């Protein structure tokens, strides 16, 4: 896995208080599409959108 060992890059970095419960204690891996893109191209955005905690191409096993 490419990201192996990256958890030690920011030693001492902790999740903030009130961290998004949907992430189940994990860091955000994806960003949302801008509102303007969702408005102009909503159908396509919906088709390709994944959860904010889902692995990205460089973070897969």
The predicted model gives 1-17 an average pLDDT of 64
pLDDT value of position 61: 61
Q: Domain residues of the chain, as ranges?
A: 6-59
Looking at residue 36, what is its pLDDT?
94
* Phi, psi (deg, nearest 5) at residue 23: -80, -10
Higher pLDDT, 51 or 42: 42
Q: Residue 2: is its pLDDT beyond 50?
A: no
The overall average pLDDT reported for the chain is 78
**What's the confidence (pLDDT) of residue 16?**
83
Contacts 24+ apart (CB under 8 A), 24-31: 24/53, 26/53, 28/52, 28/53, 29/53, 29/54, 29/55, 29/56, 29/59, 30/54, 30/56
* CA distances, 20 to each of 3, 15, 30, 36 (Å): 22, 10, 13, 24
């Amino acid at each position: 896995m490419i990201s192996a060992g990256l958890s030690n890059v920011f030693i001492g970095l902790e999740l903030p208080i009130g961290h998004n419960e949907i992430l189940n204690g994990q860091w955000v891996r994806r960003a949302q599409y801008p509102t303007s893109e969702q408005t102009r191209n909503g159908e396509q955005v919906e088709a390709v959108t994944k959860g904010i905690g889902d692995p990205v191409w460089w973070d897969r096993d």
